[in-house]
A and B are shown apart, each in its own frame.
Chain A
Amino acid sequence: MKPLPSTSSKTPVKFRMPTSENLVPIRLDIEVGGQRFKDAFTWNISDPDSEVSVFAKRTQKDLKLPLAFATQIAQSIQTQQTEFRSYKGQEMLTGEKIVPIKLDLRVNRTLIKDQFLWDLNNFDSDPEEFSKTFCNDLGIEDPEVGPAVAFAIREQLYEIAIQSVATARESRNAKKGRRGEYSSISSRSTGAALDLMKLFSNRYSGVRKRKEWDVFEPMVDMLSNEEVAALESMVEKWRDLEEA
């Protein structure tokens, strides 16, 4: 096999979500007067800011939450938006980065466990498409699973993007300063990613080894009501322990 030319291996790129659209995962966890509201959704960062308050008001009204939630929701969204935007001017490193994305979530009564590889370099990737296909193929009935899966993927991609910004900064500093440790830093930065070359170097085919099949197989499980209740009470207990 001829070695594939590593195209944009070390050239930095302006920060953005490594997906076709700059959609930011927003997570809400607001507690007002004893009522807790948790939510997670995708937000288009290029939409005008007026949408934030409109959305917050809408959500508060639809879910019949007390009025204080509207402002809190708006604030939270705006904070996360600003955070994202603060990364905007920065550069991030993109190597040939194939990263494993793990799904481990529970939506209502559906448990999902999955692991797959994602190409960070592919700026046309679309977690939404993936999620839709995923739900279709696995015959998931609960419609709320789709957005949750897409969100989880985005969140992880976002994390990785932020990390790559940090490493890009480090490497820049390293270039300016200490030359010696450059190689070790760069190798650390790509530690999480798998080098395509290494993956395929010894093989004649792209098929996975049999023992790795279990790891990469999606698992969908439906919980009964009691199990859900038990799980939730456990989560509550952990939370209380943390807060105490």
Chain B
Amino acid sequence: MASTEPPAAVTPPSSKPNLLPLASPTIITPSAAASVAVAPTASSSSPATPSVATPRPIPSDAEVFHIPSYSCWFSLGDISECEIRCLPEFFDSRSPSRNPKAYKYIRDSIVKQFRRNPSSKITFTEVRKTLVADVISIRKVFDFLDAWGLINYSPAALNKPLKWEDKDSKSSQHAADSPAGPSLDSTPPVRETSKRLCGSCKSVCSIACFASDKYDITLCARCFVRGNYRVGLSSSDFKRVEISDEMKTDWTEKETLQLLEAVMHYGDDWKKVAQHVGGRSDKDCITHFIKLPMGEQFASSAEFGSSINKLNQMKDDNNISSSSSPSKRLCLSPLADASNPIMAQAAFLSALAGTGVAEAAAQAAVTAVSEMGQGEPKADIRSLHGVQGLQDASITSNGSDVLKSVEEAHSGVNPKPEEKKVNVEEVEEEIRRVAEVQMKQIQEKIVHFEEVDSQIEKEWKQMEQMRDILFYDQLNLLKHERAIRKSGQQAAEGVRTQGDYVS
């Protein structure tokens, strides 16, 4: 299913669609009656919803062809307004071979030919070899149908750059640049600066062209004058763009970085920002800044800074754990911090790079710093290490963690508490987790001691048994001894008495 893009307001900079930037595949059946019925319901599925419109139960043996929702006006039976507007040369009786009947013949043949094998793309040459008409008429109709997704359209192709891009040599750069996931790019993908191709006649715009930012369309001067634009546009939507000016308006990464720095420092003072950036007017800076993906975050973060500060001071006083309190001073508010540019940069960069990467980087930095800073025994850092080691297991990646580790790296350098933005709940959450972890530690120790205790008891009992046995042995021995002595004495007396008799 096609991924939803915010309707019309933000067009992905990588594509220059001549069409409204949402294509949700609509299912259309080739039966003649289907044309009218499908159209109203399909169009009611507005650009915001990606659902496929299947308003009527489709008979099981009917063939189903997918066309985009913006082409739901199409029907094989007749010619619609849209076609008349886009291909006026067939309907203005200027040339006898270009008439509605010929147009219909060409169009229907192309569509039927494509639908015979909808899974493979049909080329223009294949088509023109089989149609009895002049090749340019065929080409015009073919391009029209192609553009509107009535041929060579498959839902899988939605994510590819649109067909106009194929004509540009730099389109591959676009495809590579466009953000694949929700990563925050600091600059929008580089717009082509060398060539501007007209969206309808596909020729290179030379001196001036007309661009419509609303729909992100570029037309060369000729097409604009001819009125060769899409349905729904009027001449007022376009503004003239001089090609020489075009070169200047693309923002390089360096300029964007400068802009962001300036905004961090000067906040709302756009004149100073413009000065800092150099070469851009303040209006340009504002518009570009708004277009950046993170603009909103920065704008709303100023008010959090002060409240977080107070919270952190409170924590300090309580001194829950000496190790965790410095780490709790987490905020991501580059705007609010003007005193430590390094910290701000680090915060900004870590936000750019993504939390995982930044965390890993911070870890490395912490280890490096702790190795280096042996002169000052930073028990804090080591204990922080320990705490963090425990916490790593239980804490999901979070911007606050990133800054925590970054904070540790710099705590040796800068003991001042850092103001960063984080929610109050997050701080409490962290504290709770720390307490939990320590409790678990204690519990384990208790268990361990109990084991040791029971083992000692067993040994003691064994010892007692052995003592008993020993005592018993001793007794036996004594008895024997006495018995022997007695018998010895008796034997001795017996011998003496017998001796008396003898003498």
Contact = CB atoms under 8 A, between A and B. Distances in A.
Contact of B129 (A50, A55, A144, A149): A144
B353 interface: no
Given A42-B134, A58-B124, A62-B124, A51 B139 contact: yes
19 contacts: A20-B97, A21-B96, A21-B97, A41-B129, A41-B134, A43-B134, A44-B95, A44-B134, A47-B136, A51-B139, A55-B135, A58-B139, A131-B132, A143-B130, A143-B131, A144-B129, A147-B132, A147-B133, A149-B132
Contacts of A149: 132
A59 interface: yes
Contacts of A199: none
Interface of A: 20-21, 23, 41-44, 46-47, 50-51, 54-55, 58-59, 62-63, 124, 126, 128, 131-132, 143-144, 146-147, 149-150
A42 B132 CA distance: 9
Given A23-B97, A47-B136, 8 more contacts: A23-B134, A41-B135, A62-B124, A63-B125, A131-B132, A144-B129, A144-B130, A147-B131
A43 B95 contact: no
B97 A128 contact: yes
Interface string B107-147: 00000010000000001111011111111110100000000
Contacts of B131: 143, 146-147
A55 B130 contact: no
B136 A51 contact: yes
Contact of A150 (B129, B132, B137): B132
Contacts of B113: 143
A58 B132 contact: no
Nearest to B125: A62
A59 B123 CA distance: 9
A43 B133 contact: no
B133 A42 contact: yes
A200 B194 CA distance: 70
Nearest to A128: B132
Given A54-B202, A58-B124, A46 B130 contact: no
B230 to A, nearest CB: 20
B154 interface: no
B203 interface: yes
Given A51-B139, A55-B139, A128 B125 contact: no
Given A20-B97, A21-B95, A147 B130 contact: yes
Given A20-B97, A21-B95, A54-B202, A43 B126 contact: no
B132 A146 contact: yes
Nearest to B109: A143
Contact of A43 (B130, B135, B202, B203): B135
Contacts of B96: 20-21, 124
Nearest to A131: B132
Contacts of A146: 130-132
Contacts of B135: 41-44, 55
A46 B354 CA distance: 58
A146 B129 CA distance: 9
